[in-house]
Structure 1
């Protein structure tokens, strides 16, 4: 399996669209095309192996499932994880002859994702730093009343930032990744200590992603119940991801309607001049 220059260029374009600050926007670019689960499909189509791309993307998605970008704080940027890590992981799996769905295949995929995640952080801050130059040009245009120049600042100049910090690194690393992977294969045999360590660490990385997600969504002990419902449905009933999502959507609608009933009742009580404070009601009683 190899990556041609055309394939590397296409991967570079998608890296630009998915990077933050995103050329493809936050909703479509970073939070859709940039997610490893979606990028796995894209990389699979580009490299001609859709099943492997999806399996590798799914493995990396679990690691970065709780990734958020609050303000300017970024722990890992998905442009590198999705469009450098996934292609290189696919190359490595093909070179070692590993099944992407196997335990060792998943461990290797997550390890590659973790390695390039740090690179993505560097690329993010590089992009943001270069964009400061364009912002300065924009402020100068506003001060002079040249508002039409803002189109240039918003829609044209940022491509230079992404060309430097997204397109070129992705193209170079994907194209030159083949000999690097072959060197790793020759230097680190499958039964060696280094590869065994890599597989061990890689197999634990999904647990880190799940743990971070739990820390964000679980505030009390009872919050574990809805969290594990999906796993229970998948393991006990045999539902797939789409079916579990539909069930979760139903419960979300029920929860929303219950919340709205409470809000409307409170609004009605306040509109009638009453009080909706439980403490006041208890004192009156």
Structure 2
């Protein structure tokens, strides 16, 4: 990666965080989502197809990611931007499943770094309360933007941009030492591929556990799976069949209720 690419990716890691300058809707809930993050990294690094191949399973893996009670167990923005960038940097010469597994490994590294920086950010923001209280006691409402906006954003930017630059720079330096694909033993690439598939299955399983409330729901899911796998229908075609089935089911049920 060039220094410009590193700076741009690090900047989006900040923009895709909770409380960034662009707001949570466009930031955390848009730029911070794996599929969007992978597209951004793909545009920056000039390899959109590979980035999206990585982004889709990462999106599935982390769809069940929750933060109960405000506890940040995993920094999604850090994980996906670092994971996608790492897969593009080190994935040359590897197969699709191995690249996905590689992305999971680097996403784990990014997620842990992000989690650490969240805790540091929380601690660094504590003194801002005293500054805000001081301005409130003085009635200086025109200065409240200093702790609430200016200093808060500076702390958030520093805790995300600077570590991201360091991590991405280290990755780039390591990638320049040798062809990474030739250094990985065959059993490791196989393990990465299996691990990547398992994580995607785990993410899908978490989602299905929320969606499938009744036993017949699982039958409907299997019907869609069979249509795609064995009848080679596209996802859009199966979605249309699902809509038609839902409309017919609703019409029959409501007709019986009013009969």
Same fold, TM-score > 0.5, yes or no: yes
Is the counterpart of residue 177 in structure 1 residue 175 in structure 2?
no
Give the number of equivalent residue pairs: 252
**CA-atom RMSD in angstroms:** 3.3
Question: Which residue matches 1:201?
Answer: 195
Q: Compared with structure 1, are the counterparts of its residues 137 and 252 closer, same or farther at alpha carbon in structure 2 (3 Å cutoff)?
A: farther
**Which residue of 60, 63, 72 maps to 2:61?**
63
Give the SS at the match of 2:55: helix
Mean Cα deviation higher: 221-230 or 29-38: 221-230
Is the counterpart of residue 162 in structure 1 residue 169 in structure 2?
no
Q: CA offset at residue 186 of structure 1?
A: 5.8
Question: Which residue matches 2:114?
Answer: 120
Q: CA offset at residue 32 of structure 1?
A: 0.8
- Equivalent pair of 2:97/2:196 in contact (CA under 8 Å): no
Q: Compared with structure 1, are the counterparts of its residues 186 and 55 closer, same or farther at alpha carbon in structure 2 (3 Å cutoff)?
A: closer
Q: Compared with structure 1, are the counterparts of its residues 194 and 245 closer, same or farther at alpha carbon in structure 2 (3 Å cutoff)?
A: same
Give the SS at the match of 1:12: helix
Question: Which residue matches 2:42?
Answer: 44
Q: Compared with structure 1, are the counterparts of its residues 48 and 128 closer, same or farther at alpha carbon in structure 2 (3 Å cutoff)?
A: same
Distance 1:130 1:243 in 2: 51
Question: Which residue matches 1:53?
Answer: 51
- Equivalent pair of 1:188/1:194 in contact (CA under 8 Å): no
Give the SS at the match of 2:110: helix
Question: Which residue matches 2:87?
Answer: 89
Mean Cα deviation higher: 219-228 or 115-124: 219-228
Give the SS at the match of 1:148: helix
Structure 2: give runs of 5+ residues left out of the alignment. 255-259
Q: Compared with structure 1, are the counterparts of its residues 145 and 183 closer, same or farther at alpha carbon in structure 2 (3 Å cutoff)?
A: same
Q: Compared with structure 1, are the counterparts of its residues 220 and 122 closer, same or farther at alpha carbon in structure 2 (3 Å cutoff)?
A: farther
Residues 67-146 of structure 1: pairs in structure 2 closer than 5 A: 67-94=65-92, 97-99=93-95, 102-146=96-140
Distance 2:32 2:45 in 1: 17
Q: CA offset at residue 184 of structure 1?
A: 8.5
Question: Which residue matches 2:234?
Answer: 239
Q: CA offset at residue 225 of structure 1?
A: 4.5
Q: CA offset at residue 223 of structure 1?
A: 4.0
Q: CA offset at residue 176 of structure 1?
A: 2.1
* Per-residue deviation, residues 5-56 of structure 1 (Å, max 9, x unmatched): 1111111111111112444322211111011100111001111111111112
Larger Cα-atom Rg: 1
Distance 2:64 2:105 in 1: 17
* Per-residue deviation, residues 226-245 of structure 1 (Å, max 9, x unmatched): 555654554345223x6666
* Per-residue deviation, residues 127-163 of structure 1 (Å, max 9, x unmatched): 2332233233223323332222232333221222223
Q: Compared with structure 1, are the counterparts of its residues 131 and 229 closer, same or farther at alpha carbon in structure 2 (3 Å cutoff)?
A: farther
- TM-score using structure 1 length: 0.74
- Equivalent pair of 1:57/1:86 in contact (CA under 8 Å): yes
Is the counterpart of residue 27 in structure 1 residue 1 in structure 2?
no
Structure 1: give runs of 5+ residues left out of the alignment. 262-285
Give the SS at the match of 1:157: helix
Question: Which residue matches 2:257?
Answer: none
Question: Which residue matches 2:8?
Answer: 10
Q: CA offset at residue 247 of structure 1?
A: 7.0
